[in-house]
């Protein structure tokens, strides 16, 4: 590894223009890759198709799923003859489109009651409406101001096909001659997903711009003591473009959770540039530019590499969780930190060589006793000048705090782990949120339209049960389907009804089920395919669909658990396989996945970094950077409980992300301390000097990271805004853990192998 950095330093110092040309070519390729990035919405973001549950849900959607597109038509009087004829013409045109199985609405009711023709007078219309069943009118015509039309799509359409149909319908509505005073709104799950994708794209751009703006403010405020203070901003922007490019070229999609990764990358990625820039600025005061660049690359870049790889292992742990979009978050963060690191180690030193980086003159410098003896005479007067700058006073403050902590490590450790223990207990009390509708802005038009439909038509939620057998149409199997369906409806007040192949057979056979298989087959043949395929797949598989009331996701999870117990109790015929599936089951199970994944990813993150540090350093003491992180994770649980935050698919990554972020700071402190000890310093002086030398850079990068994460709080997506709050606190804790806890840990673990000063 050292040979690589020596080679890199040689290339940068001897051929900076060639290196710069290489960077430009990579940058152009990344810009092309950015154009290939796609957005992902829908079930694939929440459930892995390769798992049994994911495969079953995918099969159910592909085979039976029939997502409907809704038209909300509003005017002063939707029963106006001209308005109804417009609706009839529009539905007729839509009904002839590919992948549309049928359309229905108030005009369908009026035509069926008038011999297939739409009435021509208001009197006829009012007469038919007055005679229709009230529940039918309520669903189709809740008031004279609004009516709902349902466009039923062909079962089993892929998301791309459904989007294609949606765009065709949007085009037909736009090109239709809408009567004055009439508005037509397209709604439904697919319309919701499309608008959410558009909102996500817009939100991503806003978040990145906000994060970059806040980061520039932080840099100008905290990093102005070096030349070209905004250089790290240019570096992280390049790293971000490289990340987008890698994602586009590799085909990785961007989901709701992945959007939150980009401000995270800005916050973390700038740290690498700041560390290298800060070391370069430190060395340029003591040596010629080529030597300073070489020292910065060969001394700092390996330490930052170890920190970056440790951070990456924390993110990689997310891939092993049960939620696909959390895995995508981990992959994106891993791509991102590696891209930002590569950008930092190449762009910062190359830029310095190209511009002939001149140092800023400092009023005062900190020297250890050994450095003071080795310092040439000309630096002594400069060193003895009084230090008035804020940065220098902060340097001394950090060094003195670190020294005091190093001399009294035990009380510090007892206090921080006492708080952590309380936090671990409170973490179990933090609520879980997995309802997709709570993740998006409450005023998003598609969500408002969906809520309007729910208030009008009632809940559209269903709990499907897939039934498989050698011949599902056997009388005994049909009897079980009917009996179990009736039993569940009667037992649970949250279940409003059941539909299945049995209800269709009864409808076409005078409300009875034939007694033998031959009669059953004859009746099934008379049922139109457009109705039959909704509940039957050949002779081997059928579906029961339980309609439910509108309820909280936690209530749906409890209801599904009750149905599972009913399935165990209500004995099925031999050979009949029964499985619950559907979107409601997926989101309710997501709550359990969040609980499992947050613990699993935290444990895996610790395990991966533990193994990585042992592999790199080959000594047991190398794992001490993990000790402060254990306390920080406990603090996270306490603060989430105190602030009333929820665990969502995004905040579930908090433990693993904390390990990745905090390990960088703690590893850099340990690396610098080891470097100072190798120069012959005693332990206390090495701790003081390492924190004083690197503490400012860590503080600047940490606070800049906080600014980057703070951009998440500006998101209109609740799931991302809450994640912003938690990550800002987490980074703050990580910074405190590195500066305040790490000196105590090093003092306790190193004092047996290194001399302790007075």
Above 80 in pLDDT, residue 53? no
Q: What is the DSSP letter of 39?
A: B
Predicted confidence (pLDDT) per residue in 503-517, tens digit = 888 888 888 888 888
Average pLDDT in the chain:
81
For residue 378, the model assigns a pLDDT of: 37
- Those residues with Cβ within 8 angstroms of residue 407's Cβ, 6 or more apart along the chain or in another chain: 684, 747
Choice among 34-48, 175-189, 228-242 with the minimum mean pLDDT: 34-48
Share of the chain above pLDDT 70, in %: 87
Give the closest residue to 741 by CA, choosing from 627, 640, 616, 611.
627
Distance CA 105, CA 585 (A): 29
For residue 731, the model assigns a pLDDT of: 83
Distance CA 286, CA 294 (A): 13
Predicted confidence (pLDDT) per residue in 113-153, tens digit = 888 888 888 888 888 888 877 767 777 777 788 888 888 88
- Cα-based distances in Å from 562 to 179, 487, 547, 558, 566: 50, 12, 15, 6, 6
Share of the chain above pLDDT 90, in %: 11
**CB of 149 within 8 A of CB of 105?**
yes
Exposure of 734 in the CB half-sphere (CA atoms within 13 A): 32
For residue 19, the model assigns a pLDDT of: 93
Distance CA 74, CA 602 (A): 51
Q: Give the other-Cβ count within 10 Å of 545's Cβ.
A: 18
Q: Which helix (H) or strand (E) holds 495?
A: strand 495-499
**CB of 724 within 8 A of CB of 710?**
yes
**CB of 275 within 8 A of CB of 224?**
no
- Those residues with Cβ within 8 angstroms of residue 252's Cβ, 6 or more apart along the chain or in another chain: 246, 328, 331, 332, 335
Distance CA 502, CA 482 (A): 6
Above 90 in pLDDT, residue 10? yes
Predicted confidence (pLDDT) per residue in 542-582, tens digit = 988 888 887 777 788 888 889 989 888 888 888 899 999 88
Q: What is the DSSP letter of 142?
A: S
For 403, the token pair is 């020294």
Banded model confidence at residue 382, pLDDT cuts 50, 70, 90: very low
Distance CA 140, CA 169 (A): 20
Above 70 in pLDDT, residue 371? no
Q: Which helix (H) or strand (E) holds 151?
A: strand 146-153
- Edge-to-edge strand order for the sheet containing 183-187? 100-104, 146-153, 68-74, 183-187
For residue 66, the model assigns a pLDDT of: 59
For residue 374, the model assigns a pLDDT of: 45
Above 80 in pLDDT, residue 376? no
Sign of CA dihedral 452, 457, 459, 464: negative
Q: Which helix (H) or strand (E) holds 579?
A: strand 577-580
> SS in 3 state form for 214-230?
HHHHHHHHHCCCCCCCC
Above 60 in pLDDT, residue 328? yes
For residue 548, the model assigns a pLDDT of: 84
Give me the count of residues in the chain.
Answer: 758
Distance CA 88, CA 397 (A): 78
Give the closest residue to 359 by CA, choosing from 384, 386, 379, 385.
379
Average pLDDT over residues 690-718: 77
Q: What is the DSSP letter of 737?
A: I
Q: How far is CA 582 from the centre of its chain?
A: 22
User: Which one is predicted more confidently, 342 or 620?
Assistant: 342
Q: What is the DSSP letter of 581?
A: -
- Those residues with Cβ within 8 angstroms of residue 309's Cβ, 6 or more apart along the chain or in another chain: 612
For residue 344, the model assigns a pLDDT of: 92
Banded model confidence at residue 44, pLDDT cuts 50, 70, 90: low
Q: How far is CA 395 from the centre of its chain?
A: 37
Average pLDDT over residues 434-441: 68
For residue 25, the model assigns a pLDDT of: 94
What are the chain's domains? 2-41+194-436+588-750 (1.20.1640.10), 68-187 (3.30.70.1320), 445-587 (no CATH)
User: Which one is predicted more confidently, 445 or 729?
Assistant: 729
Q: Give the other-Cβ count within 10 Å of 721's Cβ.
A: 15
Per the rule left: phi > 0, alpha: psi between -120 and 50, beta: everything else, 580 is: beta
Distance CA 474, CA 574 (A): 12
Phi, psi at residue 266, to the nearest 5°?
A: -60, -45
Above 70 in pLDDT, residue 380? no
Predicted confidence (pLDDT) per residue in 272-306, tens digit = 888 899 889 888 888 899 999 999 999 888 888 88
Choice among 49-58, 249-258, 305-314 with the minimum mean pLDDT: 249-258
Q: Which helix (H) or strand (E) holds 5?
A: helix 2-14
Give the closest residue to 267 by CA, choosing from 733, 702, 708, 665.
708
Distance CA 440, CA 195 (A): 10
Note the pTM of the prediction, 2 decimals: 0.67
User: Which one is predicted more confidently, 531 or 187?
Assistant: 187
Above 80 in pLDDT, residue 51? no
**CB of 371 within 8 A of CB of 286?**
no
Above 70 in pLDDT, residue 741? yes
Banded model confidence at residue 457, pLDDT cuts 50, 70, 90: low
Distance CA 185, CA 72 (A): 5
């Amino acid at each position: 590894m050292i040979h690589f950095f020596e080679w890199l330093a040689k290339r940068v110092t001897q051929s900076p223009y060639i290196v710069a040309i290489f960077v430009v070519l990579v940058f152009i390729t990344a810009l092309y890759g950015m154009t290939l990035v796609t957005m992902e919405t829908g079930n694939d973001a929440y459930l892995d198709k390769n798992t049994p549950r994911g495969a079953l849900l995918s099969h159910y959607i592909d085979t039976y799923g029939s997502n409907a597109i809704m038209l909300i038509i509003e005017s002063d009087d939707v029963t106006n003859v001209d308005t109804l004829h417009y609706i009839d013409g529009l539905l007729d045109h839509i009904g002839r489109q590919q992948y549309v199985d049928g359309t229905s609405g108030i005009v369908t009711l009026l035509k069926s009651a008038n011999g297939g023709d739409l009435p021509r007078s208001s009197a006829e219309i009012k007469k038919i409406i007055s005679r229709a069943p009230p529940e039918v009118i309520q669903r189709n015509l809740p008031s004279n101001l609004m009516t709902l039309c349902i466009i039923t799509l062909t079962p089993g359409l892929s998301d791309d096909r459904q989007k294609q149909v949606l765009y065709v319908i949007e085009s037909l509505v736009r090109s239709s001659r809408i009567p004055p005073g009439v508005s037509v709104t397209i709604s439904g799950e697919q319309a919701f997903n499309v608008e959410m994708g558009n909102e996500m794209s817009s939100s991503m751009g806003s978040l990145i711009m906000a994060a970059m703006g806040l980061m520039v403010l932080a840099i100008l405020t905290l990093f102005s003591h070096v030349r070209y203070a905004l250089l790290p901003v240019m570096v992280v922007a390049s790293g971000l473009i490289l990340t987008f490019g890698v994602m586009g070229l590799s085909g990785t999609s961007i989901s709701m959770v992945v959007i939150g990764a980009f401000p995270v990358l800005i916050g973390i990625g700038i740290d690498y540039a700041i560390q290298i820039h800060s070391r370069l600025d430190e060395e340029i005061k003591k040596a010629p530019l080529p030597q300073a660049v070489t020292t910065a690359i060969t001394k700092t870049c390996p330490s930052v590499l170890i920190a970056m790889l440790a951070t990456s292992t924390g993110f990689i742990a997310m891939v092993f969780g049960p939620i696909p979009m959390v895995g995508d978050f981990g992959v994106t963060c891993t791509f991102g930190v590696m891209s930002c690191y590569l950008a930092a180690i190449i762009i910062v030193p190359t830029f310095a060589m190209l511009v002939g980086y001149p140092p800023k003159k400092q009023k005062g410098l900190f020297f250890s006793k050994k450095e003071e003896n080795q310092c040439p005479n000309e630096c002594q007067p400069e060193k003895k000048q009084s230090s008035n700058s804020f940065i220098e006073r902060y340097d001394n403050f950090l060094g003195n705090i670190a020294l005091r902590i190093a001399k009294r490590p035990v009380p510090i450790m007892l206090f921080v782990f006492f708080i952590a223990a309380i936090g671990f207990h409170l973490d179990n009390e933090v609520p879980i949120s997995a309802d997709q509708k709570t993740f998006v802005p409450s005023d998003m038009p598609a969500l408002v339209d969906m809520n309007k439909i729910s208030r009008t038509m009632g809940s559209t939620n269903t709990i499907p049960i897939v039934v498989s057998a050698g011949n599902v149409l056997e009388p005994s199997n049909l009897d079980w389907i009917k009996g179990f369906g009736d039993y569940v409806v009667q037992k649970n007040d949250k279940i409003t009804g059941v539909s299945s192949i049995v209800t269709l057979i009864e409808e076409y056979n005078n409300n009875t089920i034939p007694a033998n298989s031959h009669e059953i087959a004859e009746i099934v043949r008379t049922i139109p395919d457009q109705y039959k395929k909704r509940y039957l797949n050949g002779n081997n598989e059928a579906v029961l669909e339980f309609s439910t009331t509108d309820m909280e996701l936690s209530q749906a999870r409890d209801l599904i658990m009750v149905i599972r117990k009913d399935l165990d109790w209500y004995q099925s015929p031999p050979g009949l396989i029964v499985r619950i599936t559907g979107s409601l089951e997926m989101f309710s199970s997501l709550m359990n996945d969040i609980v499992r994944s947050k613990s699993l990813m935290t444990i895996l993150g610790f395990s991966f970094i533990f193994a990585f540090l042992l592999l790199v350093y080959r000594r047991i003491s190398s794992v001490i950077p993990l000790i402060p992180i254990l306390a920080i994770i406990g603090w996270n649980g306490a603060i989430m409980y105190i602030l009333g935050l929820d665990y969502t698919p995004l905040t579930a990554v908090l433990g693993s992300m904390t390990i990745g972020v905090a390990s960088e700071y703690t590893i850099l402190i340990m690396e610098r301390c080891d470097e100072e000890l190798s120069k012959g310093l005693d332990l206390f002086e090495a701790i003081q000097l390492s924190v004083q030398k690197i503490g400012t850079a860590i503080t600047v990068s940490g606070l800049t990271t906080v600014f980057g994460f703070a951009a998440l709080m500006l998101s209109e997506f609740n799931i991302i805004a809450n994640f912003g709050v938690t990550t800002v606190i987490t980074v703050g804790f990580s910074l405190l853990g590195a500066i305040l806890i790490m000196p105590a840990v090093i003092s306790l673990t190193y004092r047996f192998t290194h001399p302790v000063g007075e």
